[in-house]
Amino acid sequence: MPSVLPLGDPAPPDGLLPAQAAQGAGNRAFGLYVHIPFCAVRCGYCDFNTYTATELGGGASQDAYAGTAASEVAFAARVLAGSGVPARQLSTVFFGGGTPTLLPADDLALILRAAVDEWGIEDGAEVTTEANPDSVTPESLAVLKAAGFTRVSFGMQSAVPHVLKVLDRTHTPSRVPQVVQWAREAGLAVSLDLIYGTPGESLDDWRYSLETALSYQPDHISAYALIVEDGTKLAAQMRRGEVPGIDDDDHADKYELADQLISAAGLGWYEVSNWARTPEQACRHNLAYWRGDDWWGIGPGAHSHVGGVRWWNVKHPTAYAGRLAQGASPAAGRETLDGETRTVERIMLEARLQAGLEVATLSAVGRHQVAGLIADGLVDPAAAFRGRLVLTLKGRLLADAVVRRILPD
């Protein structure tokens, strides 16, 4: 969740949604994202809306945060009901950040319980929290499991100390197998997040990180290319020449190695940057984003989407808490997407999925491009014959270029 909010229309103080939001809602899944905006240390590459304890003033304490988030849950339930959106049970819940597990496990449980009390939760629903390896204990993971969490996603990032140092990560590599074991003993599914392309990371470093992560036999792996955003510490270091810049060829080599090793270990790709041991262990919450389902985002800077209406909360925890205390919407702005925009976004997102995109979704111009994409080795010809546009490995490396070719002018 980048820290810079988009431009948009003013959001009404009561938060009520236009009629479009309710149309067809019964056919869409409903999920909850909970943003925990606290970190022990700000990582040098991070552009997310996060705060260390020393950056926050009164009214935004970590101690009070769970209650504030629970008050937005209650506000959300009133808004959806008042907007005519039919009641739906939660299909997924995802706690992200920041470092959600900087809060006591009981606080995370309180927020989850508030959400379940309002909406209910489907049998077998996925409930995930992100966590830094140095922010959990066997006891805290057991509390999360007892509260209804099913999955934990650890920010491993690398197994190489000098790479972790560049990224300003605070954990040591030896901590990761320990927390993976604790999570398994608690009965939680385990995902590991990795980052490749860090300045100074060799191909051998990356291979070691992959092999180390796979040796822990996770249920899921995410591997993201490092993107250096303006305004971050790492961007400043690059401008000063203290660390080398990003190399696209290096990224491509590391992605190909990731796919090779992760696939050989028995995990299959289901989205360009994500692999799961079985289809059931794919992150259902993220799939809901990519497929255009509905979700409400709780927390400062959090984004929401219901039926083509998208909005985002004010960024600062103090302003966020203040609005909710006054009974007002914490939304800073919103936009209502028209049919054409929703189609374009569907193409951009679904094209990245292993399940692919229906060729019939494309415009005449886009459908005309498919033959050329097959000839260029970017799209699976057998899948295209069946009416699905599915990226090859080369296509995944050039996913953005593929999308540009199939989008209408």
Q: What is the residue extent of each domain of the chain?
A: 19-290, 338-409
Residue by residue, pLDDT tens for the chain (409 residues) are 555 667 788 999 999 999 999 999 999 999 999 999 998 776 655 556 667 765 665 556 889 999 999 999 999 999 999 999 999 999 999 999 989 999 999 999 999 999 999 999 999 999 999 999 999 999 999 999 999 999 999 999 999 999 999 888 888 999 999 999 999 999 999 999 999 999 999 999 999 999 999 999 999 999 999 876 666 676 677 677 776 767 889 999 999 999 999 999 999 999 999 999 999 999 999 999 999 999 999 999 999 999 999 999 999 999 999 999 999 999 999 999 999 999 999 999 999 999 999 999 999 999 999 999 999 999 999 999 999 999 999 999 999 999 999 997 6
Q: Are 176 and 154 in contact (CB under 8 A)?
A: yes
pLDDT of residue 167: 87
Class of domain 19-290: alpha beta
Burial class (CB in 10 A: 0-12, 13-18, 19+), 326: exposed
Which letter does DSSP use for residue 158 in this model?
-
Task: Report the candidate in 63, 70, 65 with the shortest Cα–Cα distance to residue 113.
Answer: 70
DSSP state of 198: -
Cα-based distances in Å from 269 to 203, 217, 242, 265: 21, 16, 35, 12
Q: Rounded distance, CA 395 to CA 327, Å?
A: 48
Which letter, b or e, does each residue of 164-193 get, where b requires 16 or more Cβ atoms within 10 Å of its Cβ?
bebbebbbebebbbebbebbbebebbbbbb
pLDDT of residue 45: 57
* Strand partners for 333: 312
Burial class for 231, CB neighbours closer than 10 Å (0-12, 13-18, 19+): exposed
Instruction: Extract the runs of DSSP E, i.e. beta strands, from 262-366.
Output: 268-271, 274-276, 294-298, 303-306, 309-313, 331-336, 357-358
Prediction pTM value: 0.93
The Cα–Cα gap between 254 and 331 comes to 39
Pure H helices in 315-358: 317-325, 339-350
Euclidean distance between CA atoms 404 and 357, whole angstroms: 14
Do 257 and 203 form a contact (C-beta atoms < 8 A)? yes
Q: Output phi, psi for 375, to 5 deg.
A: -60, -30
Q: Which residues pair with 157 in a beta bridge?
A: 194
